[in-house]
Chain A
Amino acid sequence: MGRLQKIFDHKTTGVLNVYFTAGYPTIDSTVKLMETLQEAGVDIIELGMPYSDPLADGPVIQESSSIALKNGMSISVLFSQLKDFRKNIQTPVILMGYMNPVLQYGFEKFCKEAAAVGIDGLILPDLPPFEFESSYGKIIKDCELDFIFLVTPETSVDRVKLLDNLSSGFLYAVSSSSTTGKEKNMSDVVAYVDRLKSYQLKNPIMVGFGIKDKTTFDMLNGHANGGIIGSAFIKALDSANDYSLSASSFIRSILT
């Protein structure tokens, strides 16, 4: 059984997934932050692979990406940093990024190496289902990696079912059609999640975009299986000198 599936078997609501950009705030912070997040009680770690043109992301994540790139982060650097991380970290880890750097690295090579270091799943927002089904999906599955598709409030029922069917691990519900880091109306978000749940999907539902603090995270309780925090966490790192300390105090503010 995969690490992601174990989390959701064990916990049906309140699953906390935290995103941060690899190589931010410093080139060496990646694994240290992962350890901090595990200690603080985060259930899933989503590691962003920085890209020069991150279309789905808002200014906060974009800025963290350009700093990470300036720090020298790349897929090959990241894999070398992740070589031994499974010795200390049992938390499921997902890589999130964009297609172009992955294609340059070599799609198959990327999947194989990700699986080899102990990555559990992938989120590639600009890999659409048509391309997934016609070529890339098989490579991902052969490497036994989970692949997580996004759905939005504008996604039709039939398409939600298609995307759910192609996904494994969980389904990523974008709280409204928008880039990351924008304000959301949480009661709309809850109603949207309840609608998704009524479709009786095979995957757990994790809500991202607009989840920023304890209040917004807790509002998902009993509705979604959990929430994904990205921009708010990056911002918390941004304003502090000791990133490990500020990371754990941010997570404490969510979980207590």
Chain B
Amino acid sequence: MNNTYTSPDVHGYYGDFGGAFIPEMLYQNVEQLQHNYLEIYNDPSFQKEYHALLKDYVGRPTPLFFAERLSKKYNTGIYLKREDLCHTGAHKINNTIGQILLALRLGKTRIIAETGAGQHGVATATVCALKGLECIVYMGEKDIKRQAPNVARMKMLGAKVIPATSGSKTLKDATNEAIRDWINNPVDTHYIIGSVVGPHPYPDMVAKFQSVISKEMRDQLNAVIGNPLPTRVIACVGGGSNAAGAFYHFLDEPSVEIVAVEAAGHGVNSGQSAATTQLGVPGILHGSKSIVMQTIDGQVVEPHSISAGLDYPGIGPIHANLFASKRGKFLSATDEEAMKSAFEVSKLEGIIPALETAHAFAVLNDLKMKPDEVSVICLSGRGDKDLATYMDAMNEQ
């Protein structure tokens, strides 16, 4: 096997995880991507177009902010990578910009996507509006009800939002419906997957588009502290796209500690959790081999997290490999801990984070950070979409 932590082998494997377990009906589409994505990605004219949009449309580079009061509280050095300042309010758009440009080069005219909390759906609807392509977003019927503002945003941007009514009616089922749509529309459609999941080459492709996060971190750290390498990088993980982007350019630097924080829901062993690496076993979900939460009979179970973006029973194969090889440290935070952190970050730094992001902050106490250490937290999204949940929490207090 000729793969590194960042790049899979030619069949899409990171160690034992990855691959492309897809029915033949998807083969043409997936093969076309496998065959073309690296060439397109490495084409200088593509890179130029991609980076121009990241700069002028998304607002990159996003700041690396020294969180002074948070650092003081934990008696260490904490920097925040401000992905919440991206256009549309989260890192998701780094990937959708890349994939829409790729879809155009492949001659596709119709875009489909899945979404949980709606952030990836909004980011997809946004780039489809930007490029004038038809956009269909699959979203679990349950999520449509609990994420109404994002549904409205997608509609205003011209996207058609189709409820996934099968199974548990959440992200997993929205992904199934999007894949079925792709099977039924094999020629003109590109499927923009929102995380580092799915059949090869999606995990690698999405990780590459998100890797701009860690590329900027290195340059910014170098400018601020004279060293591109921090002590550690911390990010929340559902499927794991912001984490893949934040870790990417540090994975082959053994001195940098990699900390992934999963959603423990009501508690890892409560039966209401989304801590995939702790509760899952190797399996196949949505076209790749990874760690999957499932019953003893191999039926995929419905996870729970207060944040819809982490509410996924799998994890990207890149992360499964970081977990299995012990390159990454995998921690988890409960709904309650994440909520507490969201309020702490808001009050100490004047930044209201997304509930997903708040999980990354919830492990600061557990990490036993030293005063001379430098930790970077990927602040993956802003909390506007979670205001209703935050208001409920304030009313309860």
Contact = CB atoms under 8 A, between A and B. Distances in A.
Interface string B7-29: 00001000000011111110110
Given A59-B166, A62-B166, A125-B24, A154 B186 contact: yes
Interface stretch (A30-38, A97-105, A195-203): A97-105
Most buried by A among B24, B180, B300: B24
B294 interface: yes
Given A56-B23, A128-B20, A100 B300 contact: yes
B23 A55 contact: yes
Given A100-B292, A104-B297, A53 B167 contact: yes
B294 A104 contact: yes
Interface stretch (A12-20, A175-183, A221-229, A231-239): A175-183
B166 to A, nearest CB: 6
B22 A154 contact: no
Contacts of A74: 297
Contact of B24 (A66, A105, A130, A150): A150
A163 interface: yes
Interface in A29-77: 51-53, 55-56, 58-59, 62-63, 66, 69, 74-76
Residue of B186, B281, B284, B294 with highest tally of chain A CB at under 10 A: B284
Interface string B254-287: 0000000000000000000000000001111111
A126 B21 contact: yes
A131 B22 CA distance: 11
Contacts of B183: 55-56, 177-179
A104 B298 contact: yes
A155 interface: yes
A126 B186 CA distance: 17
B265 to A, nearest CB: 19
B2 interface: no
B76 interface: no
Interface in A119-140: 125-128, 130-131
Contact of A163 (B20, B24, B184): B24
B231 to A, nearest CB: 38
B8 to A, nearest CB: 13
Contact of A99 (B21, B25, B27, B167): B21
Contact of A103 (B284, B287, B296): B284
Contact of B23 (A100, A126, A130): A126
Contacts of B88: none
A149 interface: yes
Contacts of B287: 55, 126
Nearest to A155: B24
Given A104-B294, A104-B296, A154 B28 contact: yes
A52 B24 CA distance: 20
Contact of A104 (B28, B172, B176, B283): B283
A84 B25 CA distance: 35
Interface residues of A, number: 41
Nearest to A163: B24
Interface in B191-213: none
B277 to A, nearest CB: 17
B20 A105 contact: no
Contacts of A244: none
Contacts of B23: 55-56, 125-126, 150
Interface in B1-50: 11, 19-25, 27-28
B299 interface: yes
Contacts of A56: 23, 25, 183
B112 interface: no
Contacts of A98: 284
Minimum-distance CB pairs A-B, first 6: A104-B298, A101-B298, A125-B23, A177-B186, A74-B297, A56-B23
Interface of A: 51-53, 55-56, 58-59, 62-63, 66, 69, 74-76, 98-105, 125-128, 130-131, 149-152, 154-155, 159, 163, 174, 177-179, 182
Interface of B: 11, 19-25, 27-28, 166-167, 172, 176, 179-180, 183-184, 186, 281-287, 292, 294, 296-300
Given A52-B167, A55-B22, 4 more contacts: A105-B298, A126-B284, A128-B20, A178-B25
